[in-house]
Chain A
């Protein structure tokens, strides 16, 4: 008998089982009869949505991890279409440790978090499109991380270079478009020395013993914002989040070539968009002492509300705003 006929006859028999007319079980062809036995057992197949909802009730996502204060207060939030791919990439490239992975009932990864050095990177698969961002990572062995990233499918944006500002640095873009600035801090460079180097003079960059792997005040992971209107962005960070400028480097051809702004115990870095470094609206999970107050300040500073402060089931009181530069801020205060 042609396969097409068998497929039709099998479906007729399945229909009979499912609608309670079990006459279909009397199929004589052995090929069909054994398939129908499997189908008969599948009548009681549990609904995967029920299974994952029950698990979420039993083991509430994120409760412990969100309330923990052991991580820096700024946590980059990657919105990626393939969280499991990103998890594997971070494990292979940066030796990151998966702390939690929480599926939504529809099978998307709703939230996952990974420890990278002393920092936390969080992620989720968005219902809308991906939002690549840029991250600056300080680690012991930049050469190794750069090679591992390329082996894991990332493309090079900057070969390993000893930079004038004291970092040994390499850049890659992962397959989802996120930019990774990988660096080992290897030398303390004074502002005068830096300006001389930029002018073509000064000493050659070199490894200084006892320096690194990151400059003072930095954590392992620092989000990097390329923005149009960097000075305005710095003002916004001050008005909304009480950010204070740690340093600004202006270049002859470009104001705010690089700046670092401190918010709480963490830094964010930024630079005026130029050339290939165009704005990449980013998402940040920002922990503050009083989310309600910070939310109000952020709105007064020009942010748009997506969700006002509310108690979340995962151990925090959280709000969600979008700043005038289209970055998303998940502002949170740990509860209890």
Chain B
């Protein structure tokens, strides 16, 4: 891990260990990663929300016991997530007997990081593009529903979707090209 990023992460963890209100910053940094890790494995939004919620509640509760060993904080979160996913599948009868992986292989980490960056770029899109992208992909709404929600024509919504994807592709290209 890059030294500057490591130092910053370590400071954030220490701050949150002293004052739980500071956990918000660790959450902002890592939400997209945990979500990407979980949704890849469970492939169901409602379940992914339950498990992501469980991961952060556990992380906050156990933060005092977290010891810095030079591994990224996200690796600790992935372990909590993997256990939570295993618990979830153990509880659901149809999945009994399957063993969840408890670590993420390097290729998967790359994919998670790419998705987490993409989510951050969505947050920074111009407001009209962001609204369309969030409604279309996170809320899974049709072009017609979005047009009626934001009071624009269907053609205008498709154009905003196009522009939004172009902006995201350009930003991802700059960062991962």
Contact = CB atoms under 8 A, between A and B. Distances in A.
A44 B39 contact: yes
Given A41-B118, A42-B122, A58-B27, A50 B49 contact: yes
B140 interface: yes
B57 A58 contact: yes
B35 to A, nearest CB: 5
Contacts of A42: 118, 122, 133, 136-137, 168
Given A41-B115, A45-B119, A58-B27, A11 B21 contact: no
Contact of B53 (A35, A48, A57): A57
Contacts of B143: 11
B64 interface: no
Contact of A48 (B138, B159, B166): B138
Main secondary structure of the interface of B (DSSP, over half): helix
Interface string B98-141: 00000000000000001100110011000000000110111110
Interface string A5-32: 0111011001000100000000000000
B79 interface: no
B118 A38 contact: yes
Given A34-B169, A47-B138, A54 B53 contact: yes
Given A38-B169, A48-B138, A55 B53 contact: no
Chain A's interface size range is: 20 to 34
A39 B172 CA distance: 12
B162 interface: yes
Interface string B19-38: 01101100110011001100
A129 interface: no
B31 A46 contact: yes
B10 interface: no
B32 A46 contact: yes
A152 B60 CA distance: 40
A45 B158 contact: no
Contacts of B23: 58-59
B89 to A, nearest CB: 19
Contacts of B140: 18
A42 to B, nearest CB: 4
Given A48-B138, A59-B21, 16 more contacts: A7-B158, A14-B136, A34-B169, A35-B165, A35-B169, A38-B169, A39-B165, A42-B122, A42-B168, A44-B35, A45-B119, A46-B31, A46-B39, A54-B27, A57-B57, A59-B20
Lowest 5 A-B CB distances belong to which pairs? Answer: A42-B137, A45-B137, A45-B138, A44-B39, A47-B138
Interface of A: 6-8, 10-11, 14, 18, 34-35, 38-39, 41-48, 50-51, 54-55, 57-59, 64
17 contacts: A11-B143, A14-B161, A35-B166, A38-B118, A41-B115, A42-B168, A44-B35, A46-B31, A46-B52, A48-B123, A50-B49, A50-B52, A54-B56, A57-B53, A58-B24, A58-B57, A59-B20
